[in-house]
Chains A and B, each alone.
Chain A
Amino acid sequence: MNIRESIAERLDLPKDAMLDMPKIVITGDSEILVENYKGIAEYTGEKVRLGTGRGIVRLEGSGMVIKSIGTDEITLCGTIKSVEFE
């Protein structure tokens, strides 16, 4: 645990804001919201790889469509099957 992590831990500060960690919100298996992402590394209808502060997040599913995209957050729709950190 580095200094920033220990400060965030002790002061009960949100880690996604303090440590630039991704925050992932999954709604059922049909929608996923990733905050604090850095960019899209790969995008196909079945697989999306997103760069984050903690490495690459790989989302797998089918019929995945980018519903909305901004500088800090991305929302994907479709059938989500798995979320993995590479």
Chain B
Amino acid sequence: MFLNKVFKFLRGYVILSLKGISIERFINICVRRGIKLLSISKHERGTAVIAVYMHDLERLRAPAFKTRTRIHIEKKCGLPVILKKYGHRYALAFGAVFAAALIAAGSQFVWVVDTEGAENADMQKLSAAVRLTGLHAGVLKSSLPTPKEMKTTIMANTDDISWAWVYVKGARAVVSVRVKDKPPRLADKSVPCDIVAMCDGVVKSVTAKSGMAAVHEGDTVSEGEVLIAGTIDTDDTGSMYRTVHAAGEVRARVFKTVSGEYPLYEQVRTPNGNNKMLFTLTLFSKNIKFFKNSSISGAEYDTIESNRYFTTPMGVFGMCTIHANGVDVSERQLSIEEAEAMALYELEEKISKTLTAGAVLVNKQVKRDFADEKTLRVTLEAEFEQSIGLEKEIFIN
């Protein structure tokens, strides 16, 4: 179907509307005479729309005369029509050919080199390794080594990359890498230490793998208190002792209370249609501003900036667009439930930052009162079960 359309376009065709009482006969005669009818649709009795190749147009005259069908040319389409219309405009034709040649030549080069997955990688080393492969903005695509060779070069010249591949998509090359996972830090077991409480709590369980448990289930402990001692007495008098690197887990119930004051209204920013677009064109690393005054009337506005840049050996090219959208600011009254929900979200976020891994929420309570007419005070009291042990080095005098 696509090829048919291409041929139709290349050869040129005419869309005709027919009017007559014997359109069926007209079609039959055309078919018998070998006139290629491309599509036929009929709208109402006595009328039809057909398409024929441009060179068959003259041949329709006899069947039309025979069947008393009136033919009206609706539209001429295809390449011959375009050539006839614009063929004598040499400058335009030259410009089109030049632009096509420029695009064709430009597409043979890599203009942008991007990296993905390298957020935690050493970018300087990675960039140097990529450069060693021969990949840089402005390089001819055909001169690049194979992706496998580039991968080998990148891997050989970096320490923190576990996998790499280079994809060339059009004029853009993407260096996709995976950063090695760092091995967990090994604790130095030769350094004597205690396990102490990182916060206040009520001990739920004690598992001492090394050292001596200093607390038991149900004990109330305060921050900094020794939970598993790294100092072990070797006789009953306490004068002889040895020190170890204490290890184990102490889980405890901890109580956390956070509170905050929250307004009973929120700011609403409604677009007022007072918008402005500011363009800055970057050619050969020089910025050309297409505006005289960047200010916008009105007190408040939101700006959205979008940048499209690419680096070439000849400099940076691109465009920066700033959409400045004027807004009217108003206040919306919040219901107590809405304000409380927003407050709880914020307070829970605050608490979650103080928790250790594996913490389990046991109980929570929310209290609210009014700080003043327009402010709600919300207090969140939560009880968690979590590990509270923290290593603390023992210094021996």
The reply to whether the CB of A71 lies closer than 8 angstroms to some CB of chain B is yes
The secondary structure that dominates the A interface is strand
B17-44: CB near A (< 8 Å → 1, else 0) gives 0000001100110011010011111110
Contacts of B42 in A (CB 8 A): 43-45
Q: Mark A34-58, 1 if CB is under 8 A from B, else 0.
A: 0000011111110000000000000
* Residues in B neighbouring A42, C-beta threshold 8 A: 24
Docked-complex contact A71 and B32, CB < 8 angstroms:
yes
A66 interface residue, CB < 8 Å from B? Answer: yes
Interchain CB contact under 8 A, A43 and B43: no
From B30, which residue of chain A is reached at the shortest CB distance? A69
Write out the residue numbers on chain A whose beta carbons fall within 8 Å of the beta carbon of B45. 44
A70 CB–B CB distance under 8 Å: yes
Closest to A71 in B: B31
Bound-state Cα–Cα, A42 to B34, Å:
20
**Interface membership of A81, Cβ < 8 A:** no
Q: Report whether A45 and B24 are in contact in the complex, using a CB–CB cutoff of 8 Å.
A: no
A43 lies within 8 A of B31 (CB) = no
- Contact status B41-A40, CB under 8 Å: no
- Number of contact residues on A: which range applies? 10 to 19
User: Is the CB–CB distance between A45 and B31 below 8 Å?
Assistant: no
- Is A65 at the interface (CB under 8 A from chain B)? yes
* Contact residue among B23, B31, B41 (Cβ-Cβ distance under 8 Å from A70): B31
Interface string of B90-112 (1 = CB under 8 A from A): 00000000000000000000000
Taking the complex as formed, is A15 at the interface, i.e. its CB lies under 8 A from any CB of chain B?
Answer: no
From the candidates A41, A66, A70, A71, name the one contacting B40 in the complex (CB within 8 A). A66
The proximity string for B residues 355-366 relative to A, scoring 1 for CB distances below 8 Å and 0 otherwise, is: 000000000000
Q: Which residues of A contact B28 (CB under 8 A)?
A: 39-40
- Give the residue of B23, B27, B32, B39 whose beta carbon is less than 8 angstroms from that of A67: B39
Chain A's closest residue to B1 (CB) is A67
Is the pair A69, B27 in contact by a Cβ cutoff of 8 Å? yes
Contact between A69 and B31, CB atoms less than 8 A apart: yes
Bound form: Cα–Cα A67–B27 in Å: 13
* A43 in complex: contacting residue of B27, B38, B39, CB < 8 Å: B27
Chain B residues with CB under 8 A of A66: 27, 37, 39-41
The closest CB in chain A to the CB of B50 belongs to: A66
By beta carbon, the residue of chain B nearest A49 is B24
Report the separation of the CA atoms of residues A68 and B32 in the bound assembly, to the nearest whole angstrom.
14
A65 to B43 CA separation, bound complex (whole angstroms): 10
- Is the CB–CB distance between B40 and A45 below 8 Å? no
Complex Cα distance A58/B38, Å? 23
Q: How far is the CA of A75 from the CA of B163 in the complex (A)?
A: 56
B24 in contact with A43 (CB, 8 Å): yes
A45 touches B27 (CB 8 A): no
Write out the residue numbers on chain A whose beta carbons fall within 8 Å of the beta carbon of B32: 71
CB distance from A40 to the nearest CB of B (A): 4
Q: Identify which of A65, A68, A71 contacts B41 (C-beta below 8 A).
A: A65
Q: List 13 A-B contacts (CB under 8 A).
A: A40-B27, A40-B28, A41-B24, A42-B24, A43-B27, A43-B40, A44-B42, A44-B45, A45-B42, A45-B43, A66-B40, A68-B38, A68-B39
